[in-house]
């Protein structure tokens, strides 16, 4: 049986807004390595849109938009090459390299099938992991904590129906002050 791992960037005060992190070369390389090791990634519509909008063109054309550092480009190629399952009831189709559309009512059976067929599946985003956590499908939670407080949301797992107890199974400290904390659910 494969593993479903969830990873997200988060501030010290719990904000997961993608625009407020402190990205650097080391955290980008870490994320690219994680995606490269995955057999597939599962993304919701919003996260897919952010990833496609930010990285597809760079991977396909090699042209970097203003403000994109050279060290960001490997992440673009890695996520472009990844097998992607996009969960949405509103998108008509997905056409990014390696992307397949999954309807919301097919989420749980699809993730269960992927865990049976593949070794490593990653999930990203904010809303989608709540549903997967409610069904007990996430085998590893990774929080990449950024040394910043912003005093606002969005936050994770808002509306979780019951507590999920976790045990710390690994850490990784980045030179820029971020810390990756890996947890597994206590079953």
Chain centroid to CA 75: how far?
A: 13
pLDDT, averaged per 10 consecutive residues of the chain (187 residues), comes to 95 90 90 97 95 95 91 95 97 97 96 97 94 96 96 91 96 96 96
* Structure confidence at residue 84 (pLDDT): 98
pTM of the model: 0.94
CATH code: domain 3-185 is 3.40.430.10
**Tokens (6 digits) for 154:** 């969005």
* Structure confidence at residue 19 (pLDDT): 83
CB 86 within 8 A of CB 100: yes
Domains in the chain: boundaries:
3-185
* Structure confidence at residue 108 (pLDDT): 97
Decide: residue 21, CB within 10 A, 0-12 exposed, 13-18 middle, 19+ buried. buried
CB 10 within 8 A of CB 144: yes
* Structure confidence at residue 18 (pLDDT): 83
């Amino acid at each position: 049986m494969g593993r479903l791992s969830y990873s997200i960037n988060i501030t010290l005060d719990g904000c997961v807004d993608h625009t407020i992190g402190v990205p650097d070369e080391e955290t980008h390389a870490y994320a690219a390595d994680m995606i490269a090791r995955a057999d597939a990634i599962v993304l919701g519509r919003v996260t897919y849109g952010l990833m496609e909008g930010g990285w597809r063109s760079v991977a396909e054309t090699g042209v970097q938009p203003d403000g994109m550092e050279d060290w960001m480009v490997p992440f673009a190629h890695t996520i472009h090459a990844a097998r992607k399952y996009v969960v949405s009831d509103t998108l008509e189709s997905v056409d990014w390299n390696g992307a397949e559309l999954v309807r919301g009512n097919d989420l749980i059976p699809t993730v269960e099938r992927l865990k049976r067929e593949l070794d490593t599946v990653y999930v990203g985003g904010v809303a989608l992991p709540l549903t997967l956590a409610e069904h007990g499908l996430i085998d590893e939670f990774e929080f990449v904590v950024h040394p910043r407080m912003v005093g606002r949301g969005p936050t994770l797992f808002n509306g979780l129906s019951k507590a999920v107890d976790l045990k710390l199974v690994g850490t990784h400290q980045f030179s820029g002050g971020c810390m990756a904390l890996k947890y597994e659910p206590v079953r």
